[in-house]
Amino acid sequence: MKKTLLILTAALLITNCTAQHHRAQLEDKNNKLTLGNVQKNIKEGMSGAEVARVMGSPNVVTKDGDNSEVWIYDKISTTASASNSSLFGLGGRIGGTTGVGGLGTYGSGASSQNQKTLTVIIKFENQKVTKVDYNASSF
């Protein structure tokens, strides 16, 4: 029994550490792709290596009609928030559940969800940045 408990505890610790590592990697990548980071750090004349150091790897690398290399970064994020409140009190049933002897809990809540997108298009000629376009939206 003790061996089983020890093995389960070790497995849970390893799983938790692995999950935290993956979460940190995703957060690090997502934190690089922000509108502020693009506006502040990506400038014409930069090399692809400099852009990759600032922004990370692009989602898409392609060529345009002029045969110039184009890097596309795309990020979609969703933020959800919720608020709940409850009141415990005496009395009849008013939109809640009533417990023993007229005691009850009454609650209300609300939630919202917000999505944001950011698309960054970086055009290169002769391996140097020549144009940076971006589109950010929130809905």
Considering the entire predicted model, what is its pTM? Answer: 0.59
Domain positions in the chain are 33-138
In 1-139, DSSP assigns E strands to: 60-63, 69-90, 97-98, 103-125, 128-138
In order along its 139 residues, the chain shows pLDDT tens digits of 777 766 766 666 666 666 565 555 555 555 788 999 999 999 999 999 999 999 999 999 999 999 999 999 999 988 888 887 766 655 555 555 555 555 556 667 788 899 999 999 999 999 999 999 999 998 8
CB contact at 8 A, 120 and 134: yes
Q: What does each C-alpha distance from 84 to 73, 76, 115 come to in angstroms?
A: 37, 27, 22
Question: Quick one: pLDDT at residue 64?
Answer: 94
The correct answer on CATH 3.30.1450 for the domain covering 33-138 is yes
